[in-house]
Amino acid sequence: MFVRPVCTGYGGCISRLVIGKKEVDIIKETLTKEGVTDCETCAVNPCENNGVCQEAQTKQGYKCICPRGFRGENCSYIGDPCYQGACGSGKCVSSGSGLKCMCPLNKAGDRCERSISIVQPAFSGESYLAYPAPKANHKLKIALKINPSEVSDSLLLYSAQNEQGTGDFVSLSIKDRHVEFRFNSGQGPVILRSRHELKPGHWVTISAVRDQKEDGRTIHSRLAVDKEAHVSKSEPPHKAALSLRTFVFVGGINRQSGMRLAPDVGILTTDGHSRLSKKTLSCRCRLPEK
């Protein structure tokens, strides 16, 4: 008697599917499913040296969170905790307690393992965003919309000539409950302060401009906060352009690199670092070319 062979499906786990050049989200993009259950890749813990196993979309179907002093896919190596891929698409920084992952904007989690979508960025006091330095600094325009949860002294925006805190700089900050626009092009600091105090939990729009007038004999600066009358100052054109070579930092600065603020920003702590903004929401920065 002839028996027709029965074709059986695959038994096991699949952690990654690529069709063409596109990586497919195996669960979210499926149209129908039948008999598919969760793959318990951590049931038999593959992580050595007390590493913690987490299911993940990797080639192995898992990843190991290694304890201090161990590294590798299965925590089998001794040494620097910052091994290749430890933070996924983020940057790994070694610390006394192990490692710290600095995640890009679209990632979150201890190892930058979660994808997220940020519409209005919130800052915790240790956060920052960094943008390329403006290509032309003869005409400087900055626009920010913020909602501070508190109005203690803190940094909103900063760019400078270098990371050592010397030379030219431009900054926006909260100082004594007011918005301050400061810059230095080599002739000492110029300070513009808003007329009214900020209130926590309220949205405000900030506009700051530094521009050379058409006659070429005056540098004009202006600060406006919401609908209050703007404040302005004029100065002789000792040097029309600001020399800004660092990133434009919003919400704070990169302390990991050892960067220091220029003292004339006016919000330094006793250790020489800046007071960073606390939960300042929805920052929008514009620094166009001339």
Report the pLDDT value the prediction gives residue 228, as an integer from 0 to 100: 87
Same domain? 75 vs 92: no
Same domain? 178 vs 199: yes
Q: pLDDT tens for residues 57-95?
A: 777 778 888 887 787 788 887 777 677 788 888 888 876
Same domain? 100 vs 188: no
Same domain? 97 vs 183: no
Domain encompassing residue 60: 41-79
Same domain? 47 vs 104: no
Report the pLDDT value the prediction gives residue 139, as an integer from 0 to 100: 80
Same domain? 138 vs 245: yes
Report the pLDDT value the prediction gives residue 152, as an integer from 0 to 100: 87
214 — pLDDT class (breaks 50, 70, 90):
low
Whether 273 is covered by a domain: the verdict is no
Closest by CA to 273, choosing from 258, 286, 285, 288, is: 258
Q: What is the pTM of this model?
A: 0.61
Report the pLDDT value the prediction gives residue 130, as an integer from 0 to 100: 84
pLDDT at 273 over 60: no
- Name the domain count of the chain: 3
Handedness of CA 91, 96, 98, 100 (dihedral sign): negative
In the numeric block, the tokens 């049931």 are attached to: 43
**More confident site: 200 or 1:** 200
Q: Please give the average per-residue pLDDT across 32-38, as a whole number.
A: 67
176 — pLDDT class (breaks 50, 70, 90):
very high
Closest by CA to 127, choosing from 91, 155, 97, 150, is: 155
Report the pLDDT value the prediction gives residue 75, as an integer from 0 to 100: 87
For residue 228, the domain's CATH number is: 2.60.120.200
| Burial degree of 2 (CB within 10 A; 0-12, 13-18, 19+) | exposed
